[in-house]
Amino acid sequence: MTKVHVTTTVNGEEVEFLADPRETLLDCLRDKLDMTGAKEGCGTGDCGACSVTVDGTLVCSCLVLGVEAQGKKVETVEGIADGEELHPLQRKFIEHAALQCGICTPGFLVAAKNLLEKNPDPTETEIRYWLAGNLCRCTGYDKIIRAVQDAAAEMRGAA
């Protein structure tokens, strides 16, 4: 198998790796760049645990090839906090007990952050539909939705 050299930017840092064309962006993040924040829950784009943004677009990194990341800007859960300063969503997820096992949390945070960047004041229904591709099996979603609402309110207040 011929591997392809890929240069890309992850959370603002330029990185490079060799990818087999069959490897997904998720495989490359986890196995080649040791960024294990994004999780593989299904491998078919049905659970959202691997959510990242590529050039600002929310995607499942299991449905993007590593080689497609060439020259792109990738953002993952590891890049959400600003140094020691947690993003309001991260703080609100902890405060509201919006995670139980926590495996889906990275995907929810990446997806919710992307939502609030596009729509700072989403309704409950808009939040629920935006996050419908992020499965959580522990919480029944209630506390997740409340955490996103609360973070949105705080961010609007601060803006």
Write out the binding residues for other proteins, residues 35-64 only, by CB under 8 A. 35-49, 51, 54, 57-60, 62-64
The 10 Å CB-count burial string (b at 16+, else e) for 4-40 is eebebebbeeebebebeeebbbbbbbbebbebebbbe
One-letter amino acid for residue 43 of the chain? G
One-letter amino acid for residue 71 of the chain? G
Out of 8, 33, 130, 151, point to the residue binding other proteins (CB under 8 A). 130
- Judged by DSSP in three states, 29 sits in helix
**Residue numbers 62-91 binding other proteins by CB under 8 A:** 62-65, 67-68, 76-78, 80-81, 86, 90
Q: Which is nearer to other proteins, 9 or 135 (CB)?
A: 135
Q: Which is nearer to other proteins, 17 or 130 (CB)?
A: 130
Minimum distance of other proteins from residue 151's CB (angstroms) = 11
Structure tokens at 125: 């229904």
Number of residues that bind other proteins (CB under 8 A): 84
